[in-house]
Each structure stands twice: as structure tokens, then as C-alpha cells.
Amino acid sequence: MSEINGNYGGRITGWGIALGSETITNDDLASRMDTSNEWILERTGIKERRIGGSTAGLAVQAGQDALEMAGCKAEDIDLLILATTTPDDQIPATSGMVQHELGLTCGAMDLNAACSGFVYSLVTGFGFLKLGYKRVLIIGSETLSRVTDWEDRSTAILFGDGAGAVVIEAEEGNGCLLGWNLGCEGSLRDILYAEVGGKIIMAGKEVFRKAVIAMTDSAKSSIAAAGLSSNDISYVIPHQANIRIIESAMKRLGIAENRAVSVLQKTGNTSSASIPIALFKALNDGRVKSGDILLLVGFGAGMTSASAIIQWSESNE
């Protein structure tokens, strides 16, 4: 049943992740190309990354755990949104395979906003709750190892494979989404792209510079939309591309660095999966308490940016 009801917000009731099966350390990469553990660690913060699996396969694993935690049966889900920039096929959308494997009976679609894809999908999902859906499954899943040029040391050191999923459920009232912002600067396509069937090409320094600005601007817009200030933010769940990008953005936002959640040391950059994987870590290690304000913020090829302010509540636990 999907009767439009603008009085419904939503809350996150389940979450799960999956990571590529094989661990590749910096030393493994150094044995194959002209790089070193020291350089990668110092310039990016990454120690190792996980690769392997398919985008659909990782999404199914993460999705299954999120459904189980939310106490949902497959038929309870009204919509699947799969954020991915590495679909398994050109046609059809990977979400169809995920829908089938999870036994869902609802509509399913892919959403490609590169590394901002999960937050784009989350905001879209909350919109559908306002349109009358009761439960939406949102997954970010990527197999970037398939589009990485393993001969190119400037990109091969960065990326990994993984997935993260959440179930959001409608509830009367405003729900947990207090503010959000979606952006895109399409003129910046050439600084980070992969042609159909091709590998990632990136102007690293330029992406770095733009990323810090895009993340900071988007975060500020969301914080303002929520009627809050930087001081109100309990934890930042940023896109996991480079620890130096996260540190620079935190400085610009005036939020203490120890408020940023990071997983990139063990995962590398998993694009649209990185924010839900970091969210999973923050929720599972018990640091997030009822009433805490979370800022989810990402940037990516496009060049896209996205952020969302989520207020955690007892009823999320």
C-alpha cells in the first residue's frame, strides 16, 4: 500500500556489511609495483584492502544481515535501492539480481552517484517513506577491483571491494533524517572517470582538492538545513577515500578529528559502500548513543557530493 503521507519520517532498523574475500596488504602491492607500505600509509592512511566477489553477491550478504537485524521478511520490503558505480552487467541493473537472490517481491533500481551513492540512495529512500512505503532496503555495493588498473600505482593502492546495507522503516513524525544535501558539479567529469569497459583514470591531486571543498560545503548545507551547528555533531561518518581528506574536512568544519569514524585502514576506498561500512563500525562498537547526531558525508566522481544528518534514538537499537 502506498498512500502519500508527508507526515511519515523513517528510522534505521537494521544494518549489515560484506567485504571482499581476499586481503591485499600494502606490502603485497609493493611486491608488484613501485610503491611502499610507508608511502601508502603516510599519503592515504590505508594499510590493506579486501577484494573479490561480485557486486550482487556482496550486496546480498550485506542485505541479508540488515534484513535479519531489522526482523524483516523479504516480502516486508517495499523497495530496493542499490547504490553502485560497478554494476555486474551493463544490462540489466544489478539490483534485479539482488532482489531475486534476497527473495524480495518489490521494485528494485540501481542508483549511480559514485562514492556519494549511498547517501543519495538513503535520502531517496526517506523520500519514498514519505510517499507511503513502509520499508526500504538500501545497499551500497562495489567491486572496484574490476575497474582498477593494477599497473597504475597512483590508483591501485586506493580501492577495495565491499558492501553495506541498511533497512529504513516508516514511522509517524519527522523521523531521524534532520537535514540533507545532494550536489553535482558535472563539469568535473574528466578528473575521475572510467569509460564503459575501461579502468579508473584519476587526477589525484585535483580530486583531493575538490573533495575537501565538496565535503565541507555539503556538510555545512546539511547542518544548516537541520537547524544545527558543527558543535551539535556527535560523529562524522565520512566517505573513506584518504585519511588526509577526512582530516582536512574535519578541520574546515571545526569538528574534532576524533569524531570522524574511519575504516579505510582495513578496507581502502569502497566507493558507495564506504559510508555504510563506517556506519556499521560506529554502531557496532557501541559508541553511538541515543540522541547522538550523525553526519554522513561523501563525495565522488561526477563530481557528486551528498550529506545527511541523522539523529540516533533508542528506538533505532
Residues lying near ligand UT7 in the complex (CB under 6 A): 35, 39-40, 43-44, 115, 153-154, 157, 202, 204-205, 207-208, 211, 241-242, 245, 269, 300
Exposed/middle/buried for 225, CB within 10 Å: 0-12, 13-18, 19+? Answer: middle
In the complex, minimum distance from the CB of residue 298 to ligand UT7, in angstroms, rounded to a whole number: 8
* Residue 143 or 269 having the CB closest to ligand UT7: 269
115 is catalytic: yes
Nearest CB to ligand UT7, comparing residues 207 and 223:
207
Nearest-approach distance from CB 204 to ligand UT7, in angstroms = 3
CB of 266 to ligand UT7, least distance (A): 17
> Is 239 one of the catalytic residues?
yes
**Which is closer to ligand UT7, CB of 99 or CB of 271?**
271
Catalytic residue among 72, 176, 181, 239: 239
DSSP conformation letters of the chain: -----TTEEEEEEEEEEEE-SEEEEHHHHHTTSS--HHHHHHHH---EEEE-S-HHHHHHHHHHHHHHHHT--GGG--EEEEE-SS-S-SSS-HHHHHHHHHT--SEEEEE--GGGHHHHHHHHHHHHHHTT-SEEEEEEEEEGGGS--TT-HHHHTTB-EEEEEEEEEEEESS-SEEEEEEEE-GGGGGGEE--TT---EE-HHHHHHHHHHHHHHHHHHHHHHTT--GGG--EEEE--S-HHHHHHHHHHHT--GGGB---HHHH-B-GGGHHHHHHHHHHHTT---TT-EEEEEEEEGGGEEEEEEEE--GGG-
Shortest approach of ligand UT7 to residue 241 CB, angstroms? 3
Closest approach of Cβ 305 to ligand UT7, in Å? 11
Q: Nearest distance from residue 211's CB to ligand UT7, in Å?
A: 5
In the complex with ligand UT7, the residue whose CB is nearer, 222 or 242, is 242
Nearer to ligand UT7, 28 or 317 (CB): 28
Catalytic residue among 72, 115, 176, 242: 115
Do residues 170 and 193 make contact, with C-beta atoms less than 8 angstroms apart?
no
Report the distance separating Cα 136 and Cα 296, nearest Å.
18
Give the integer Cα–Cα distance in Å for 64 and 17.
9
CB closer to ligand UT7 out of 13 and 155: 155
Closest residue to ligand UT7, judged by C-beta, is: 204
| Catalytic residue ranges | 115, 239, 269
